[in-house]
Amino acid sequence: MRTLITNIGELTTNAAGSATPHHAVQDAAVLMEDGLITWVGRADEAPGAEEIIDAEGRAVIPGFVDSHSHLVFGGDRAAEFEARMAGQKYAAGGIRSTVAATRAATDDELRARLRGFLDEMHAQGTTTVEIKSGYGLDVETEERLVRLAAEVTPEVTFLGAHVVPAEYADDPEGYVDLVTGPMLEACAPHARWIDVFCETGAFSVEQSRRVLEAGIARGLAPRVHASQLGPGGGVQLAVELGAASIDHGTYLTDDDVAALAASETVLTLLPGVEFSTRQPYPDARRLIDAGVTVALACDTNPGSSFTSSMPFCIAVAVRDMGMTPAEAVWAATAGGARALRREDIGVIAPGYRADLVLLRAPSRIHLAYRPGVPLVERVWKDGVQVA
Ligand SMILES: [Zn+2]
């Protein structure tokens, strides 16, 4: 069936060849057929269709591509958040309490939770999500987490190297042996990506290199958590290994920025983390002006960023990180697609997947201008309405 969305007041396409990467078309229409976009142009030149949706002058953007989340876990850490807001400092080790709750949960409990988060994300305009493991930290549970994630997305990341579990506290190298050996063997069949938390309190640069190189040898592509809590060698390692993305990047040296600008590695900024941990925001303006490709993602997780809202992240990125609304929407759509090395999403043009969001607003600017307001009216994924 052919579905035409017409009378679109402002259409953000992100299409190559438009005047700027953030160019928006006025008075537009989009045709969808068999899950793909088949035509984009002026509303008064639109072809016929069996189903016609009148956007009534409102804005349409590509579906959000959330390239960083941790959606398979048990329990929550509301009490830790409350304590942190009362002045306690964030440290990476809080992950261990989620590990205990995740190991204790059944597959069905984790699956029901995961589906709930996906519904939340669809309702807020997200049509593609990457999901990481990392709350199992033993072979059996990590395998469960990547297997459950693979039920709902092809963008599955094995993050056994999230933190050293309590039982390996005296033998972190032994844990790296486990991650790069039996755990990788069990998880690789369900995953596309290998990731590591390269940070003081988690894994050193040398340990991170071992993890990433083992994953690459097993056919996984690398992405890296780095420079969240302080500067370190993770960015340079990610660039050297050709990682699709380095995520966080709150503390970057000038050399890090120059290396990223000269590379194909995307820097994925996670404003929900700085918001929820009261850390200083990264300066997105500095990065974009230096030529770094920037993506925005939610990093949905129970410890440091329990939001699943891309509109919220866009609002914070504009308010506190120096991005324009157009840049933030690009980073949350086409930027996320780059961070996942996907060439079929994040853009509204013929041949791309029909992943679209109709906003209850005349312009994408409203996503930042009206923070906290539910502006997502309708959402299509592969041409099927999901919210
Ligand atoms: Zn993360």
Entry pTM = 0.97
What are the pLDDT digits (tens) for 159-172?
999 999 999 999 99
3-state DSSP call for residue 286? helix
Contact 145, 171 (CB under 8 A): no
pLDDT of residue 368: 98
154 C-alpha vs ligand 1 centroid, how far in Å? Answer: 18
d(CA 61, CA 25): 11
Domain spans, the chain = 2-62+346-385, 65-339
What are the pLDDT digits (tens) for 43-72?
999 999 999 999 999 999 999 999 999 999
pLDDT of residue 37: 98
51 C-alpha vs ligand 1 centroid, how far in Å? Answer: 40
43 C-alpha vs ligand 1 centroid, how far in Å? Answer: 41
68 C-alpha vs ligand 1 centroid, how far in Å? Answer: 6
Neighbours of ion ligand 1 (CB under 5 A): 299
Q: What single-letter DSSP state applies at residue 19? A: S
**CA diameter of the chain:** 69
d(CA 91, CA 169): 16
196 C-alpha vs ligand 1 centroid, how far in Å? Answer: 9
Please report the sign of the dihedral spanned by the C-alpha atoms of residue 209, residue 215, residue 221, residue 227.
negative
pLDDT at 91 over 70: no
pLDDT of residue 90: 62
- Closest Cα to residue 83, out of 102, 69, 97? 97
319 C-alpha vs ligand 1 centroid, how far in Å? Answer: 22
Q: Which helix (H) or strand (E) holds 119?
A: helix 107-123
CATH of 65-339 among 3.40.250.10, 3.10.450.50, 3.20.20.140, 3.40.30.10: 3.20.20.140
Please give the average per-residue pLDDT across 223-251, as a whole number: 94
pLDDT at 18 over 90: no
What are the pLDDT digits (tens) for 302-354?
999 999 999 999 999 999 999 999 999 999 999 999 999 999 999 999 999 99
Please give the average per-residue pLDDT across 146-170, as a whole number: 97
pLDDT at 92 over 70: no
State the virtual CA torsion across 321, 13, 128, 124 in degrees, nearest 10: 70
CATH 2.30.40.10 fits 2-62+346-385, yes or no: yes
pLDDT of residue 96: 82
If pLDDT is split at 50, 70 and 90, which confidence band does 23 have?
confident
